[in-house]
Every structure is written in C-alpha cells, then in structure tokens.
A = this chain, B = another copy of it.
Amino acid sequence: MDTAFRALAEPRRREILKHVWSYELPASEIAARFGDVTRSAISQHLGVLRDAELITERREGVRRLYRANHHQMELVRRSLEEYWGGSLDRLRSLAESAEREKGNSDG
C-alpha cells in the first residue's frame, strides 16, 4: 500500500493511469502520448505502477497491453477513508458536502 502511495505521488504516473483506465493500451501508444519524455522513461513508470499493482500487464505477440487495476485503486481510496473512521455513511455525507464545493485543479 505504501508502494501505491509513492507511485501515485508522481504526476506522470497518475496521467498514465488515466490513459489506461477505461481500456488497455500498448506501451508504445502510451509513450507516444508523452512528447517530452523517452519511451524508456515511460517503461520504467509502467514498472513502478505494476510493482504497486496499480496496473496489469497482458502480452499479445510482441506487444504488452496495460490496463488500470481498479481494485488496487479502490484499496488506496479506502486507505484515505480510514482517516474519517472508515464509516460508509460518513463517507457518503462527506462526498456530498464536497459536491457543493466543486473546487479542483489537478486530477
């Protein structure tokens, strides 16, 4: 879990995670979406995300398809909820109060 937190601390990795959130993508396609960085760097980021179990890897011929692991992300979110006491009701009310705020810059 600690590994997951460190993995998410890097903005680039959060971005990658979003790219492979709803459907899987090959490493080359992911790297192509980042113009200011090498393919190698992305590969290393994918390694970190995989170690943190935030993404899963599937091999298809010479390519490797990556996809977000929603389950692990859920565990991370639950970890944050523990600060509030872990109550599901309390979570709901807090989410609702935040709904009225609507203030956000990063994702």
Known A83-B18, A92-B92: A105·B1 in contact at CB below 8 Å: yes
Write 23 A-B pairs (CB below 8 A) sorted by A numbering.
A1-B105, A1-B106, A2-B11, A2-B106, A5-B11, A5-B106, A9-B9, A18-B83, A68-B83, A70-B84, A73-B83, A74-B95, A74-B97, A74-B98, A75-B98, A75-B101, A76-B80, A77-B80, A77-B81, A82-B107, A88-B95, A88-B96, A88-B99
Q: Which of A55-107 contact B (CB under 8 A)?
A: 68, 70-71, 73-84, 88, 91-92, 94-99, 101, 103-107
CB contacts under 8 Å to B, within A1-60, are 1-2, 5-6, 8-9, 11, 14, 17-18, 21
